[in-house]
Structure 1
Amino acid sequence: MKRTTVIIAGLDVHIYTTKTFATSTKPILALFALHGRLESSETGSIQNLIPPLVDAAEKHESEKGKDLMVIALDHRNHGTRLRDNTANLDFKENANHLHDMWTIQAGTAQDVSFLMDYLEAYLFPAGERSIVEWGVAGISLGGHAAWILAAAEPRVTLAIPIIGCPDYLKLMVPRAAASGIAMRPPHFPESLVKVIRAKGPPALPYTSKGHENPFLGKKILVLSGEADTLVPWTASQVFVEGLEVGPTGVKEYILFHGVGHAVPPPMVNAAVNFVLGVL
């Protein structure tokens, strides 16, 4: 596995590729790997996912198909971009948890869309390679951002939310209640709730068969822990089970029994196999 870092508009963007990537001319699947809350692109579960992805892609290489390029960056207010650690904590230590976690995941989704505009120009300025498909695999906070991107970014055709949740309010209301916080201002400002309801995936007509459903034709793999109490499956279940991707799309979801808020090897293997099916 080879890693290179390119700085784009002040963002450290880490690129992971196979050993033969540099001499290949095949089209590219570019997959963003987004880390969890309180972690970074260099630490935590994301670094248990990236090497197996690249190693499997290397073994899978053939003359046909696509090359895999995995891209990692720090979320806003994480890693090299950390400004206020309190803003990354939950309601017990941060009264603005609803505000902060939403703006971090929504902002990171915007960062990914921004990088999609310019990454090819930085990496292949002479047009020597072409990125033909974009994907995102995210863990926990990164899984929340992966859902936002799958819904809002037409270029993202592959999404793997891992122990993440598409329904932010359904996740956060019980979390606030457990800390004795009611769904009302100042912890739940009406202006913020309005934005979340307008921009979160559940606000979209995701069960529609018409062109307005942004998930149609996309490949979605959802990986959740049955014993996860931090991001419980019950917060995602209605959305995921009702999600329609149409006849050309793929939707799979796996509930790992006995698994909490963690990414054990079977989850990693499921993500790897799903990506290999796209190469």
Structure 2
Amino acid sequence: MATPNPMEHTHGGSPPAAISKKVYTIAGILTAVYGLAELSSQVNEVACLWLLHPRLQTQECMEPVAASIIHSWNARLQEGRGGRSPKGLIAVSFDQRNHGSREVNKLANEAWRAGNPTHAQDMFSIYRISLGGHAAWHCVLHDARISTAVIVIGCPDYTRLMTDRAKKSKLQTWVSTERPGAQFLGSVDFPKGLIETIERYDPAGLLMGELDVVTGDDHLHEPSDEEKTRLRPLMREHLGGKRILCLSGGADKLVPYQCGEPFLGFLKRAIGEGGWFSDRETVLEDIVDIQAGHEFSPKMKEEAIRFIGETLLGKGGMHAGTRSSKI
């Protein structure tokens, strides 16, 4: 699970009760584990919630998120609503590359507008390992050990996100021609090597890159038999049987929902009822808090707690398919 600036958005509510925290050094990285002291002796299995902090933050900002979710689940266990074989829940967080205790170059974390000329390369290389909501998409797609992801304001289409950001930043490579944006992709600001990496790892690059793009909006049509033949093995390998909750802010200007909407629509049509990949028990819930900006809003928090609880119970809310809603 990953959230943007979780400590900034309590909206006047009471802060969560304290949660136990123990720090270990693992592979040279300071790693915080939350909720060990609160584990019940009656549980035989423990689920781990990985908390990925956002850009320009540190792992400490995830502590309130860990406390809220763990306390909510433990309360359910105490009330006898944890299922027949209840699981315990802990959370883990650590500083991402070039952040907090691992920072080596502060400017590399900044955007174009803040004076970082290699923003696109730096941001992708950092969150390809883990950084905020964007990284949660990469984790659930590329790590077979991860079966469920809660993605809070994470864009699954890096090219569209950076293209939007280049336009807003009025980069020279965006405005330098009569046709704005024509020179951006493949330029020094978004080099070919980055494009090739995106096609291997980014959700939209990996999957929609298999479409026979002619008009630039081929994601809107039903894939051809040839396209499906190429896509099905990728879908099975990277998304088969996985559960994803995607939470977005309708008023978010930094990571606009519209940048990820083409890929989300493509994915929902594929795995929805009657879709060409509807037989793989894959779940996608796409929920937009229409009043939220770049924040982990109270409504988003409620949906995250619900989704995690359903996952731990093994119910899943629904066995396969999609759910889209605005709250």
Structure 2 length as normaliser, TM-score?
Answer: 0.70
Runs of 5+ unmatched residues, structure 1: 109-140
Q: Could you tell me how far 1:24 is from its partner in structure 2?
A: 4.2
Corresponding residue number in structure 2 for 1:89? 110
Corresponding residue number in structure 2 for 1:101? 123
Of residues 248, 251, 256, the one that matches 2:284 is 251
Distance (whole Å) between structure 1 residues aligned to residue 108 and residue 232 of structure 2: 39
| SS of structure 1 residue aligned to 2:138 | helix
Whether the aligned pair in 2 keeps the contact of 1:87 and 1:94 (CA below 8 Å) is yes
Distance (whole Å) between structure 2 residues aligned to residue 238 and residue 47 of structure 1: 33
| SS of structure 1 residue aligned to 2:232 | coil
- Aligned partner letter, 1:16: Y
| SS of structure 2 residue aligned to 1:241 | helix
- Where is the strand percentage greater, Structure 1 or Structure 2? 1
Q: Which has the larger radius of gyration?
A: 2
Distance (whole Å) between structure 1 residues aligned to residue 98 and residue 255 of structure 2: 21
| SS of structure 2 residue aligned to 1:143 | helix
Whether the aligned pair in 1 keeps the contact of 2:53 and 2:132 (CA below 8 Å) is yes
Q: Could you tell me how far 1:267 is from its partner in structure 2?
A: 0.9
Whether the aligned pair in 2 keeps the contact of 1:18 and 1:55 (CA below 8 Å) is no
Q: Could you tell me how far 1:25 is from its partner in structure 2?
A: 4.1
- Aligned CA distance change for structure 1 residues 259 and 20 (closer, same or farther; 3 Å): closer
- Aligned CA distance change for structure 1 residues 34 and 40 (closer, same or farther; 3 Å): same
Corresponding residue number in structure 1 for 2:10? none
Structure 1 length as normaliser, TM-score?
Answer: 0.82
Aligned residue-pair number: 245
Deviation track 1:78-119 (CA, whole Å, cap 9, x = no partner) reads: 1111111111111111111001100110133xxxxxxxxxxx
Residues 1:149 and 2:142 aligned together: no
Corresponding residue number in structure 2 for 1:227? 251
Q: Could you tell me how far 1:76 is from its partner in structure 2?
A: 0.4
Distance (whole Å) between structure 2 residues aligned to residue 105 and residue 253 of structure 1: 21
- Aligned partner letter, 1:161: I
Q: Could you tell me how far 1:180 is from its partner in structure 2?
A: 2.1
Whether the aligned pair in 1 keeps the contact of 2:43 and 2:87 (CA below 8 Å) is no
- Aligned partner letter, 2:57: E
Of residues 25, 38, 53, the one that matches 2:69 is 53
Q: Could you tell me how far 1:255 is from its partner in structure 2?
A: 0.6
Q: Could you tell me how far 1:21 is from its partner in structure 2?
A: 1.4
Equivalence map 1:135-174=2 (5 Å) = 141-174=131-164
Runs of 5+ unmatched residues, structure 2: 1-18, 174-183, 209-222, 272-277, 313-327
In percent, how many aligned pairs have the same letter?
31
- Aligned partner letter, 2:132: G
Residues 1:27 and 2:49 aligned together: no
Q: Could you tell me how far 1:249 is from its partner in structure 2?
A: 2.4
Whether the aligned pair in 2 keeps the contact of 1:166 and 1:239 (CA below 8 Å) is yes
